[in-house]
Amino acid sequence: MTEVPSPITGSVWKILAAAEAPIEEGQTIMILESMKMEIRVKSPRNGKVIEIRVQEGDSVLEDDVVALVE
């Protein structure tokens, strides 16, 4: 299982992947917003999204685990 960390401190703007859904390496899991910039959080590997640990509107810190990919 691979933890997917937030690359920045910001807020969760849009979640694009669902738990239990297949995902490909480089596919966007969610989009974060920080200082009016949109930052895509991408899957580090092919597999399946096991868990999304945040909801839209949540605040996250850099390196917080926002998702798990198997």
**Prediction pTM value:** 0.91
Q: What is the pLDDT of residue 32?
A: 98
Domain ranges for the chain, please list them.
2-69
Stretches in the chain below the pLDDT threshold 50: none
Using left for φ > 0, alpha for ψ between -120 and 50, and beta otherwise, residue 40 falls in: beta
d(CA 61, CA 54): 12
pLDDT digits (tens, 9 = 90+) for 33-49: 999 999 999 999 999 99
- As a CATH number, domain 2-69 is 2.40.50.100
Q: What is the pLDDT of residue 22?
A: 97
